[in-house]
Amino acid sequence: MAIVNNTTTQAHDAQVIVGIQKHLLNVPSLPLAGATYAPADLVKLVQSRIDSAGVVAAASANWHSTVAAQKALGAKLTPLLRSLRQYVLNSFGETSPVLADFGFTAPKTATKTPEQKVAAAAKAKATREARGTLGKKQKAKVKGTVPATAPSAPSAASQPAVTSPAPAAGTTPRAQ
């Protein structure tokens, strides 16, 4: 017999009790698993497992709701405590012993070894070269060029061109 979960166990146990009460109440004793049980005692024992499962289910539901309440409180309280820590740091300073009274510690600054700094600079340079990024001075040297295009002849559909005759060479135009 495969018992899947507490609900099916409780249902099965209730069915066992019904069967005992229906068919075995007139039997004086039942020799089971190396012990002898009266049918009424067997009913009480099976009923105790049903009751125990009910208590466990209630405790489980209570536990789940308590855990959910704790998580909700933590989600509300965590940002407040972060803000309080910042307030205490700003008010008393990073080296103040007052931080310990709150249970806070001073922020730690990361110190890099000279080898780490050299490696970071080399990596940054390689990244800039790979991406083709430039600094301020290099950007200032870069000038855009406009591609040269052949002048376009005015189309006949656009405005008609009005031309005046050009003066002959060596003559000046006269006012009339």
**Quick check: is 123 in a domain?**
no
Q: How far apart are the C-alpha atoms of 88 and 96, rounded to whole Å?
A: 9
CA-nearest of 89, 109, 84 to 99 is: 89
The verdict on pTM exceeding 0.85 is no
**Quick check: is 40 in a domain?**
yes
Least confident stretch, 36-40, 56-60, 80-84, 167-171: 167-171
Domain count, the chain: 1
Least confident stretch, 2-6, 72-76, 81-85: 2-6
Mean pLDDT across the chain: 84
Q: How far apart are the C-alpha atoms of 100 and 85, rounded to whole Å?
A: 11
Contact (CB, 8 A) for 94 and 107: yes
**Quick check: is 55 in a domain?**
yes
**Quick check: is 110 in a domain?**
no
Residue with tokens 């972060």: 82
Confidence of residue 128 (pLDDT cuts 50, 70, 90): confident
Contact (CB, 8 A) for 67 and 17: no
Whether 39 has a pLDDT exceeding 80, the answer reads yes
Question: Which residues constitute the domain of residue 69?
Answer: 9-102
**Quick check: is 145 in a domain?**
no
CA distances from 23 to 36, 56, 129, 138 (A): 17, 30, 90, 99
**Three-class secondary structure of residue 45 per DSSP:** helix
Tell me the mean pLDDT in the region 116-126.
Answer: 91
Element (H, E) at 50: helix 39-92
Higher-pLDDT residue of 133, 166: 133
Tell me the mean pLDDT in the region 97-102.
Answer: 91
Instruction: Please report the pLDDT score of residue 42 as a whole number.
Output: 94
Q: List, for residues 134-151, the tens digit of each pLDDT value.
A: 778 887 777 777 777 766
**Quick check: is 150 in a domain?**
no
Which two tokens mark 136? 């301020």
**Quick check: is 86 in a domain?**
yes
Distance of CA 122 to the CA centre of its chain: 33
**Quick check: is 33 in a domain?**
yes
Confidence of residue 152 (pLDDT cuts 50, 70, 90): low
